[in-house]
Chain A
Amino acid sequence: MFRYSLAAIAAAAAMLVAPIDASAQQTLAQVKARGSLNCQVGLPTPGFYALSAAGVWSGMDVDMCRAVAAAIFDDPAKVQYQSVTSAVRFTALANGESDMLSRTTTWTAVRDTQLGLEFAGVNFYDGQGFLVSKASGITSARGLDGATICVLTGTTTELNLADYFRANRMTFTPVTNENVNVLVETYLGGGCDAYTNDKSSLAARRSAFPSPNDYVILPETISKEPLGPVVRHGDNNWGDIVRWVLFGMIEAEEMGVSSANVTEMLASPSPGIRRLLGNEGNIGEGMGLPKDFMVRVLRHLGNYGEVYERNVGVNTAVGIPRAGSLNALWNNGGILYPMPFR
């Protein structure tokens, strides 16, 4: 999901700042001095950065913010959420307002190399798909030739769609809007034959349809959308912290350490677990964090699996099955592969 409208300015601004920011090495020190983490999320989106009627933020990406805060302060509540439109997201990171950005941002070459950004990892593998009604009888994206398709305007979604149809020598008529809710309403009102977006979003929206079971998400995935947290270029230590908090949570799941058993696991003889929890080695200290920073993260947030199930798992409104998807662990059919914690 990438908006072009102000992207050029954002890029220029980001490039202006990144190389000359004298404070680049001190993000951790600034965060500690401030007493809270400025974490940028997007405009409310279910499953990833949702805002409840009680005014509480939650979601996969919000938990990423909370995990970093837990690692630094042992308190996941020490986060100040900044919610800006995607048009200005990189500028708000580049100008120092946000310490990190955690808002379903696709890792792309241009962003990584030209905007002064550093992607710290991937916390969700998404991909673009199509939603159609069962009544239409369409079972494959190949059957969409000549269809009218509802698509978000000004995003990579729109470009992926055009690419896919061109590559397969099919034609389509786009119906565009910049508001997901308007598109969904258009689709439900019969304004288009199919609705396309990232599959996580399709699943979430379908759950709010009058009769969700009358609709299917087609099996094809037409784009790669590796989503993950982002930091500024130039402060490698800060990037390391975010990266290894994320890896640590995935590693913990792989090793079977969860929020429920982390206290018992402290006594575990397994060297891998001992390193993860800071009983051996000095991974945390090397980054300016305490040895047991992963204990803090796991105690407050849990491992990756817990975060996933809590926010977007099958028992939530979003309901994206994890088993067999890209987001399963590498030894479980997915591609989540944390670098060794040693």
Chain B
Amino acid sequence: MSDALIFQPKAGKPAPPSTLGVVGWVRGNLVSSLPNAALTLLGAYIVYAFFSAVIGWAIVDAVWEAQNRRECLDLVGRAGACWPGVKAWIPNLIYGLYPKDQVWRINAGFLVLVLWAVPLFLPWVRSKVMIGLGLVLLYPLLASYFFHGGDKGLVWGALIALGLTGFLWSWLTAIAEARREAPLLEGRRRWILLAGLYAVSLLVVSQWVLDEVQTRLWGGLFLTLVISGFGITVSLPAGILLALGRRSRMPLIAAVSTTFIELFRSVPLITVLFMFNTMLPLFLPAGVEVNRLLRAIVAVCLFSSAYMAEIVRGGLQAIPKGQYEAAAAVGLGFWQSTSLIVLPQALRIMIPSIVGSFIGLFKDTTLVSIIGLFDLLSMARAVGEDTVWLGLFIEPFFFVTMIYFVFCFSMSQYSFHLEARLGAGQRR
């Protein structure tokens, strides 16, 4: 009897060098067969032709210094871009017709926004929900005065102070939590602190004197951000409420929500904007003027809420019934089970759709140009109509395309980041 034949695996050989590294990747993916190689060559040629043309036009042959378009044309004709025109218009493209000596207010307003949002990204801050809520609810109050200015009046002054209080409180909280002091948020001390902060804010705000800048002067990227900012912050909570309303067992609420959603989803945004901007004043008594920008913002918010509602409803439907039942079994009521069990899971699933909707909204704001608001795109269009830069329109559109790309791409990257963070270890 000989020994039983035992399988002895040979030691693995290294992969053939032709499949390794860059060479291997190129062979495997680009030139694996003759048709493939041909396609690769064709693709490479297209990419080369496209980029060499764009780069040649936008950089190599471009004119960077000129007083007017005529100088550009005399230098390079139409072969190269004429950037000085875009450069001269950059203040308008970014801030619209906002008085140039007041532009610092917009910058300050956005700086406050960024500063306010910083604690949300600091790992040791625990009150992120409160800070985030404060930011969404109170920042517009503070920003409204930065951007609009003018006579404050009592009520508005009190609201602005509320905004400032929110900002200060957020940072105090962040600092306290960094030093592991919790008492800021505890019991009576919190209320005393808040009252003190509010008193200080009132005092500070009462000292602020900013000239009025009417909203018809707002424009450019600033206006685009204001409109889409409002649309984004309003549409999410409103969409959640509408979606819950539509799923509600109470017939009245369900009917109202459904009607609202279906009404706004079945008309194009341009129509909604048109209705709000040109038809609405027809029904108002003479002399009553509702701010044009406000009308546009309301229209955008209503429209995007309807879309958001359907996204949220889709997310809610993806949550298994067992989750609702389990929540009910441990004695949670409707609002508790919704906010603690269902929504957190649903929102996580919905992130891609929600961000997709935000990006769409950001781009859709270009439609406000039809009702006479000078958003980023209309400003870009105006460059080519300036007598000094007459006919210059590819360059500003190129520039604006880059701006839109940066914003939309950042939003989508942030959503990937959010998905990765929230979904870790909980993938289905």
Residues of A within 8 A of B289 (CB): 97
- B88 beta carbon closer than 8 Å to chain A: yes
Which parts of A170-226 form the interface with B (CB within 8 Å)? Answer: 179, 181-182, 184-185, 188, 204-205, 207-210
Residues of B within 8 A of A188 (CB): 78
Residues of B within 8 A of A84 (CB): 370-372
Complex interface bits, B259-273 against A, C-beta within 8 A gives 1, otherwise 0: 000000000000000
Residues of B within 8 A of A97 (CB): 278, 281, 289, 292
The answer, among B279, B369, B391, for a CB contact under 8 Å with A85, is: B369
Please tell me the number of chain A residues within 8 Å of chain B, measured between CB atoms.
49
The answer, among B73, B278, B287, B382, for a CB contact under 8 Å with A51, is: B382
Closest chain B residue, CB of each to CB of A205: B391
The answer, among A6, A17, A80, A318, for a CB contact under 8 Å with B274, is: A6
- A1 beta carbon closer than 8 Å to chain B: no
**Docked pose: A53 CA to B370 CA in angstroms:** 21
Most A CB atoms within 10 A — which of B277, B281, B385?
B385
* Contact in complex: B385, A45 (CB < 8 Å): yes
**Docked pose: A87 CA to B277 CA in angstroms:** 13
**Docked pose: A46 CA to B388 CA in angstroms:** 9
**Docked pose: A338 CA to B69 CA in angstroms:** 38
Residues of A within 8 A of B100 (CB): 54-55
Which parts of B59-85 form the interface with A (CB within 8 Å)? Answer: 69-70, 73, 77-78
Residues of B within 8 A of A23 (CB): 286-287
* Contact in complex: B391, A181 (CB < 8 Å): yes
- A16 beta carbon closer than 8 Å to chain B: yes
Closest chain B residue, CB of each to CB of A57: B97
With contacts A50-B387, A95-B282 known, is A210 near B89, CB below 8 A? Answer: no
* Contact in complex: A181, B274 (CB < 8 Å): no
Closest chain A residue, CB of each to CB of B282: A95
- B92 beta carbon closer than 8 Å to chain A: yes
* Contact in complex: B69, A43 (CB < 8 Å): no
**Docked pose: A179 CA to B274 CA in angstroms:** 21
Closest chain A residue, CB of each to CB of B283: A95
**Docked pose: A316 CA to B388 CA in angstroms:** 10
Residues of B within 8 A of A50 (CB): 385-387
* Contact in complex: A96, B382 (CB < 8 Å): no
The answer, among A30, A85, A316, for a CB contact under 8 Å with B372, is: A85
CB distance from A19 to the nearest CB of B (A): 13
- A272 beta carbon closer than 8 Å to chain B: no
The answer, among A53, A87, A318, for a CB contact under 8 Å with B388, is: A53
**Docked pose: A91 CA to B384 CA in angstroms:** 27
Residues of A within 8 A of B214 (CB): 80
27 example contacts (A-B, Cβ-Cβ < 8 A) are as follows A22-B286, A23-B286, A30-B287, A43-B382, A46-B385, A50-B386, A53-B91, A53-B92, A53-B389, A55-B100, A80-B214, A82-B216, A84-B372, A85-B372, A88-B370, A91-B279, A95-B278, A97-B281, A182-B393, A204-B390, A205-B390, A207-B390, A208-B69, A208-B73, A208-B391, A316-B387, A317-B388
A-B contact sample (5 more), CB < 8 A, given A53-B389, A97-B278: A10-B278, A23-B286, A43-B381, A44-B385, A82-B372
Taking beta carbons and an 8 Å cutoff, which residues of A are in contact with B?
6, 9-10, 13, 16-17, 21-23, 30, 43-47, 50-55, 80, 82-85, 87-88, 91-92, 94-97, 179, 181-182, 184-185, 188, 204-205, 207-210, 316-318
The 10 closest A-B pairs by CB, nearest first: A84-B372, A23-B286, A208-B390, A44-B385, A208-B391, A181-B393, A95-B281, A91-B278, A317-B387, A55-B97
